[in-house]
């Protein structure tokens, strides 16, 4: 398939720049993939649209303050997005502007923390080695000084705000922060809505996929089948595997909360046991889903693997029509935007 088949015009004013005051107040476009029928709904109606016995599977990975701002010796500003620790004080990262950071370049941050470029990759990818003054512990410094890793299409003059520490994180995030971006379909859930789902008899379990370069990587090749996704770490606990296997065995719907949860589910489809590892699974039209029956997802940017994935589930023409409808009816797009329920 051609990359141009996943292109569309996304006006800047459709990209949500702030979260809504209430998490579960988003709009939701409900798409039935078999008939192509669409309905404009509210996310708060989700429990009414699901059946007792349905199983929601969400990604509980926690976001860490992965964005740093430093300076070169010349005084030029450099933005760094940490993607994951590589050991021995080194981190994989995306840097901007990348052209200024050759191997050996040094970046100074506040509190005397410094980083050196050890390896240079493609499209802004770098391996950085950090060094701290003796009185500073890097992880603690990162928690205090790091910024919320809002995507670059959220363009605010003031940058990230205090509210983003809470709102760019799901209410069910668990464990140590390892994700460089939020699993944004989960941002719509509030404690009250989770309670209503339980009262409705809808099941809930979580898996983990720690978002890294695979999510940010752009598609450069014209034939999308040639695109390779960077691997990202995932974990599935024994209780989660058992819940998924039980739902599958009883022919109950398995509903992925977001594309990251869907990637984990399709990675483990052949063997539903507790596991952890790396996945570089790429789901595009022509690839069949083995576990995912339905998907809750935000609206995605043009030419992305995320748009290709939902097209694989719902059909390219259905998604094209749904996005045209969403744009015409002023839905909010991308991370802080509205959502779709594909059944």
Task: Tell me the domains of the chain and their CATH numbers.
Answer: 3-63+166-342 (3.40.1780.10), 67-147 (2.40.10.240)
Contact 310, 298 (CB under 8 A): no
- The alpha-helical segments, DSSP class H, found in 7-59 are 46-49
- The secondary structure of 272-289 as a DSSP string is -SSEEEEE-----TTPPP
Contact 338, 330 (CB under 8 A): no
3 state DSSP class of 284 = coil
Candidates 218, 241, 240; CA nearest to 230 is: 218
pLDDT per residue, tens digit, the chain (343 aa), is 899 999 999 999 999 999 999 999 999 999 999 999 999 999 999 999 999 999 999 999 999 999 999 999 899 999 999 988 888 899 999 998 877 788 999 999 999 999 999 998 877 789 999 999 999 999 999 999 999 999 889 988 778 888 999 999 999 999 988 999 999 999 999 999 999 999 999 999 999 999 986 666 778 888 988 888 888 999 999 999 999 999 999 999 999 999 999 999 999 999 999 999 999 999 999 999 999 999 999 999 999 999 999 999 999 999 999 999 999 999 999 999 999 999 9
- Res 249: pLDDT: 96
Residues in the chain: 343
And the tokens for 156? 């605010």
Q: Residues of 91-101 as b/e, b for ≥16 C-beta within 10 angstroms?
A: bbbbbeebeeb
- Res 219: pLDDT: 83
278 phi/psi in degrees, rounded to 5: -115, 145
- Res 231: pLDDT: 87
Q: Could you give the CA distance from residue 128 to residue 119 in angstroms, rounded to a whole number?
A: 7
3 state DSSP class of 197 = helix
């Amino acid at each position: 398939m051609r990359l141009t088949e996943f292109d569309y015009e996304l006006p800047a004013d459709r990209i949500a720049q702030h979260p809504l005051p209430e998490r579960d107040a988003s709009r939701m476009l409900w798409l039935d993939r078999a008939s192509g029928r669409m309905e404009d709904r509210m996310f708060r109606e989700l429990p009414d649209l699901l059946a007792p016995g349905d199983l929601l599977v969400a990604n509980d990975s926690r976001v860490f303050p992965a964005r740093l701002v430093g300076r070169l010796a010349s005084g030029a500003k450099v933005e760094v997005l940490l993607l994951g620790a590589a050991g021995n004080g080194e981190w994989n990262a995306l840097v901007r502007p990348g052209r200024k950071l050759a191997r050996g370049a040094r970046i100074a941050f506040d509190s005397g923390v410094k980083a050196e470029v050890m390896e240079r990759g493609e499209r802004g990818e770098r391996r950085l080695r950090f060094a701290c003054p003796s009185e500073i512990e890097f992880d603690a410094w990162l928690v205090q000084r790091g910024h919320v890793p809002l995507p670059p299409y959220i363009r605010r003059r003031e940058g990230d705000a205090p509210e983003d520490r809470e709102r760019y994180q799901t209410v069910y995030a668990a464990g140590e922060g390892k994700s460089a971006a939020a699993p944004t379909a989960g941002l719509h859930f509030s404690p009250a809505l989770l309670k209503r789902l339980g009262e409705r008899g809808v099941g809930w379990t979580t898996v983990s996929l720690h978002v890294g370069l695979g999510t940010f990587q752009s598609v450069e090749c014209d034939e999308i089948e040639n695109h390779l996704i960077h691997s990202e770490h995932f974990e599935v606990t024994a209780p989660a595997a058992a819940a998924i296997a039980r739902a599958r065995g009883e022919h109950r719907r398995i509903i992925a909360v977001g594309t990251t949860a869907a990637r984990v589910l399709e990675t483990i489809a052949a063997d539903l046991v507790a596991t952890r590892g790396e996945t570089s699974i790429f789901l595009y039209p022509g690839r069949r889903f083995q576990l995912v029956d339905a998907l809750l997802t935000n609206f995605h940017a043009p030419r992305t693997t995320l748009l290709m994935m939902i097209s694989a589930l719902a059909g390219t023409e259905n998604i094209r029509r749904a996005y045209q409808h969403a744009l015409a009816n002023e839905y909010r797009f991308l991370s802080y935007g509205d959502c779709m329920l594909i059944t």
